[in-house]
Copies of this chain bind each other. A is one copy, B any other.
């Protein structure tokens, strides 16, 4: 009984979630109190609170804390928690603006921000465009506040200087990744290179690598340790996105909170679809090109597309890729010199995110 396979872990995802949410709710309260002469602000803070309460996995905050624990067994200082919360608020910004660009109606099982804000103004003839415009402003506020969270007395100048270059890179990568995504969308091709590039910037670095690096950097990680985390993060991020793409087509909307028509209707350029176009027979290709990205695509069209994605072998190939990428991530961990808590939880995480239904 001198050792156990599971080290006593200070990493409790539910506890991280609670702590980060508390910090965020407290922060939004502060913003309201700071500008009593602008009560209209409460519409925006209220919308962000609703979005946080509605769900979300808090993956980035959890990985930020994981990055810390992968490097040191010290208790994370307040600065680490602030960075974790900042990532979640940045993510709220990214979702709000993405949902506008993708013209999505639901998120986390509720109306997206621009739809909720349109409903708030439903008495106006121009409610839809006011909703979109107000949601652009809401995203802008969330982006700015994600940095305001870090300019607090309990984040030291040294901590801020250490994390800022990473946050700047994260923002550029994510936004240019979103640009790659939006210019590839609606133009179905067998170009898997572009699909992989979108995944790298929009998901693998944004969701996995940068959050891990942020926590690890605050803990004083060496360059070699950061490289090991990257070797884990990039393939796992790819596997994460491939699972997301599958859930976007075959997921249970009750669980994912998203419609299974959105990605198909929008014509989202994914490895799944690019693979199907590469491997499909001519009639399958014709069916795919005819329906994919059609703005009025219905459930019957979606069912036809699902059949092509399955029959072409693209679905099975994607499932296999997820396993391969996950194994590659796990292998990278074996080579690291990290504190045991980190890899233990990173292994668990790799299994969870690649087999998830949510």
Interface residues of A, Cβ cutoff 8 Å to B: 31, 34-35, 38, 40-41, 43-44, 93, 97, 100-101, 121, 124, 126, 130, 133-134, 136-137, 139-141, 143-144, 147-148, 151, 157, 160-161, 164-165, 168-169, 171-173, 175-176, 178-180, 182-183, 186-187, 201
Contacts and interface: CB of A to CB of B under 8 A. Distances in A.
A79 to B, nearest CB: 14
A141 B38 contact: no
A201 to B, nearest CB: 7
B35 A169 contact: yes
Nearest to A156: B157
A130 B201 CA distance: 19
Main secondary structure of the interface of A (DSSP, over half): helix
Contacts of A157: 157, 160-161
B35 A141 contact: no
18 contacts: A35-B176, A38-B201, A41-B172, A44-B176, A93-B140, A101-B136, A134-B183, A137-B175, A137-B178, A139-B140, A140-B143, A140-B171, A140-B175, A141-B171, A141-B172, A141-B175, A157-B157, A160-B160
A187 B43 CA distance: 20
Contacts of A147: 144, 147
